[in-house]
Chains A and B, each alone.
Chain A
Amino acid sequence: MPPIIDRQSRAQRSAGQKTALVQYIGLFAITLAILLGTQLFFGNVLTAANLEVLAMNLVFEGIMALGMTFVVISGGIDLSVASVFAFAEILVAKLMVEAGLPVPAAIVITLVTCTGIGALNGFMIVAFRVHPIIITMGTLLTLRGVNLAITDGRSISGFSEGFVFLGSGKVLGINFPIVFFIVTALVLGVLLANHRFFRQLYVIGGGERPARLSGINVNRVKIIIYMLSATLAGAAGIMAAARYGAAHWGHGNLAELKAIAAVAVGGANINGGSGTIGGTVLGVIFLAVVHNAFVTSAVNTFWYDVVSGVMLLVAVLLSRLTQRRNLFAQLRIRQAKMDQIATSTKGESL
């Protein structure tokens, strides 16, 4: 890989790190304030039972949001995750209950199929040069129809105990989907921060043309990222089927918006070029805490979507504001450096 990529992505990363840190501290403080405020005024928040429910409430959207982070950093978007989620539920259920396949085989086939759907998304985006919103919306609608048609609108249930463990089982006292979310977030977070392949995403998100000129195989990277997004949505769907003991085409309705919201609240630039897994995790926790606060406070839930929407807007606007301030600060530093170089060059020539 040419060194210019490293320099560019490193420069973008270090520039983003300061901004991100400020955002994360702010988001963490707000989340903590909501949590403690709700405990103080309404109680029943910091109980083991409620914290478990709080974590489980958004864990499937959280897993989808991890994949979405990569897509958003690359400048794309994946609206199909909710349909892939429900499709995975249905496919794994059909393979086990109707085809009689053993659990591991059903899971592997389902994940491979979901990866294939992601590959198709990515291929259509790069081959036809159509905006990802259009392609993934097409996949969303097509798969929703497929989900309805192949189930005839009915749910599928009757899973084995071994499979149900994936949704309700506990590892070290923690629900398996939460363990999966934490481990996946850690692995992907480390890869995104340190692995060359994933660092290319920041360059692609900053501008595809310069990325191509830098020698990055943009098409290949994009296809792989959509594959990752769909695979994670599929994994979430499998665990959700296990959790609810049923696969239903309506599960995960609008989950794509919650996943995108978590990524945006976590500070990622929706136009691409910035974002981190840590930010997304904070975004997921923030949304889960807000939702939990609504239930705990018993405020009219008709207002939940209003508050969530306004908070998303505020988070995104604050993110843009901080990025802009950071950009101006960088430009000032760069200008000062250039002035310094110019002065020293002038001195040498004299």
Chain B
Amino acid sequence: MYYVELMLNGLLVGSLYSIVALGFVLIYKASEVINFAQGEFVMFAGYVIAFWILSLDFNIVVAAFLALVVMVLVGLLVEWAVLRHLIGRPVVAVIMATIGLASFLQGTAQLLFGVETRTVPLPIDDYPIFIGDLLLNRIELVAAVFAGLGFAAVGWFFVKSRYGIALRAIADDQQVSLAMGINVKTFFGIAWAIAGVVALVGGVFWGNASGVDTQLALIGLKVFPVVILGGLDSIIGALVAGLIIGLVESLAAGFLDPLVGGGTKDLTPYVLMILVLMFKPYGLFGEKIIERV
């Protein structure tokens, strides 16, 4: 029974990894920007929603809506102030800019909201449900449902909506999109805004599970194994790979830790990632256009 629980737990945590990775994939798909500040986005969203709920005593729904507005603005602002100027520059520059952004967001969040850990309170019972002998956490189930909804919404957006189709066109070929009258820069902004919103889902549930402080941003380190495994530009890849990474981590902690006498939970995703890079660099679902020399 414990092993079933361990695996289920891994999958549920994995769904939360997926949602963090989704923000990364969205930005990469639209603008080919590699966002090393995805974890900081999640952290910032957590700070914002915790602020509305704890300091101003807002209802969770109102707070979530206000936080959504803030995150959209943050996303747009980041794109407008920094990333827009780096279009066409080498990858190194873009990566470094998002690393700078990460530090900037950490400092700003602390200056605005304070340094101590706070938790995002959710109106969900903390105690587990038992199905027979099988133990499940309500909150994780709710989180998984929201993660699923997030993916469904983003999927619908890309397949059905006018804006989503435009974003796909940009991802396919920027110049042709420009020629077809799509305002590419506006859509980069839209991609960042959506990434901000997606980060909010991560911020709420990670903020509830682990508390919000600058350390929460380190969840961003989980993004890379997920997106490499899933394929950089694949939304479905982020979902599947997030679940796989969650499962692998959970099993590593359960089986590998006692064998090696140390924590392998954070290491195994990266080892897996190296293997993927060597044998299948475009990941499970990524477009196979990787440039080789």
**A-B complex is real:** no
